[in-house]
Chains A and B, each alone.
Chain A
Amino acid sequence: MKVIAIINQKGGVGKTTTSANLGSAIAELGKKVTIIDLDPQGHLAVSLGVRKNQSGIDEVLTGEKSIQQQIISLSDNLQLITSGLKLKEIEQLTENRAHRGDLLKNALHESLQDQDYVFIDCPPSSGLLIVNALFATDEIVIPMTSDFLALQGLSHLMGTIKKFESLLKKQYVAWLVISRYTPNRKISKQVLNMLLTYFPKQILATTIKETTLLAECPSFGQSILEYRSGSRSAKEFRKLAIDFMEGRIMYGKK
């Protein structure tokens, strides 16, 4: 079982889109995938067609339920654990602070061993939930838009990750996914070139272009693979799935 955090403290960079569609694409390739919605906003569940408010990872973290009780099966290979309404409260817990960081790690390692990949869709914040995600994983995927403020956000995120690496004495395998890419904008190419300079072996080969279909599909509760299976966006996520599984990276400057 590989546990991967889809993380970026900046909002609007495509974390949930990447979680839903990359997870679905890998499941389509026959791998067993569980996606966990660690964002109290609960958008991942809605994006995948689960609209009913129900408990999820929140009650796993509080010890009220086991992971197995919270699993929602979406297809043969794909399952979801929703965020749950109490997740926001967990972010704000103030008691027993020293022991809060490993709640998720402990829960995951009790279960889900039959899964090939467990993706954690992280919230756009830097609180307890992110601490839990970074405790639980050895591998991270960072969706990045190609604009200046995203670079600024990435700078902060890399600082946080380096602090964790130092504290936990481990090194994360980190991949960048270029999402919401608009190739006709000059600044997009310049940002991508800057990223290639700093992360020459970490940017997954396929860029995910900004498209209307990707904006539409969450409202239908479907991944892009279900919503428009033959679309460019669906093809990009299928390629990205192979990039991720095989470590195929982007080379050179765009």
Chain B
Amino acid sequence: MAKNNKTVSDENNLIGYDPLAWMTEELLEQETVAEEENTVSVQELEVIKPSGSIKLEAVLNIQNVTPLHEKLKNSIGANDLIEIEVSDVTSIDTTTLQLLVALKKESIKLQKIVIFIKPSPRFLESAKLLGLLEILDI
């Protein structure tokens, strides 16, 4: 089994890259580098929160996809985890769904997480209709 981030050449392997490889690398680093002394305050917990939260509008169509694209691009650049709440969505077109699929694919490439939370019935219905439930991980 490959333990790196490169694409695995074995055609029987169904896992393209190994997202856990950093754990081994970190272990190796720990063996060679002396552990730093940490003085920690509870306030530092704020650093732990790696998430960005975005709530999508009710109506999502080609007219408002550009600002949404910008927003998502900035968010994935700044956060390791993005929670996208889609509870209010009452209408979503294929352009916006394509954007969300692209975001999801990009997040995998960047080893970041995009999670869709509280999907509205219409969001689920549209994603299901286009066969995107699996790729959007809903």
Interface residues of A (CB under 8 A from B): 9-12, 97-99, 101-102, 124-127, 131, 148-149, 151-156, 158-160, 162-164, 166-169, 186-187, 190-191, 193-194, 197-198
CB-CB nearest in chain B for A100: B45
List the 7 closest pairs (A to B, CB-CB), nearest first. A155-B19, A187-B14, A152-B19, A126-B51, A98-B43, A167-B40, A198-B20
Q: List 30 A-B contacts (CB under 8 A).
A: A9-B81, A10-B115, A11-B115, A97-B43, A97-B46, A98-B41, A99-B42, A101-B45, A124-B117, A126-B49, A127-B49, A148-B15, A149-B108, A153-B113, A155-B19, A156-B80, A156-B113, A162-B26, A166-B40, A167-B38, A169-B38, A169-B40, A187-B14, A187-B15, A190-B13, A190-B14, A190-B15, A197-B1, A198-B20, A198-B24
Binary CB contact string for chain B from 93 to 122 against chain A (1 if under 8 A, 0 otherwise): 000000000000000100111010100000
Given A11-B117, A125-B83, A155-B19; A160-B14 close (CB under 8 Å): no
Chain B 40-98 interface residues, beta-carbon cutoff 8 Å to A = 40-51, 80-81, 83
Interface of A is mostly: helix
Asked if A167 and B113 sit within 8 Å, CB to CB, the answer is: no
Interface size class of B (residues with CB under 8 A): 35 or more
B117 / chain A contacts, CB cutoff of 8 Å: 11, 124-125
Q: Which of A99, A153, A167 contacts B48 (CB 8 A)?
A: A167
Point out the residues of chain A lying under 8 angstroms from B22, CB to CB.
Answer: 155, 159
Other CB < 8 Å A-B pairs besides A131-B45, A159-B22, 18 of them?
A10-B113, A10-B137, A11-B137, A99-B42, A101-B42, A125-B83, A125-B117, A131-B49, A149-B108, A152-B19, A152-B111, A154-B19, A162-B26, A166-B40, A167-B44, A169-B40, A187-B14, A190-B14
A154 to B21, CA, bound (A): 12
Measured between alpha carbons, how far is A125 from B53 in the docked complex, in Å?
Answer: 10
CA–CA, A183 to B95, complex, Å? 36
Is B23's beta carbon under 8 Å from chain A?
yes
Taking beta carbons and an 8 Å cutoff, which residues of B are in contact with A? 1, 3, 13-16, 18-20, 22-24, 26, 38, 40-51, 80-81, 83, 108, 111-113, 115, 117, 137
CB closest chain-B residue, reference A164? B48
The complex places the Cα of A168 from the Cα of B19 at a distance, in Å, of 25
CA distance A232 to B22 in the complex (A): 37
Most interface-central of A10, A159, A186 (chain B CB within 10 A): A159
A105 to chain B, nearest CB (A): 12
Are A156 and B81 in contact, CB atoms less than 8 angstroms apart? yes
A125 engages B51 (CB within 8 Å): yes
Task: Contact check, A167 vs B20: say whether CB atoms are below 8 A apart.
Answer: no
Contacts A131-B48, A190-B15 given; does A152 touch B108 at CB 8 Å: yes
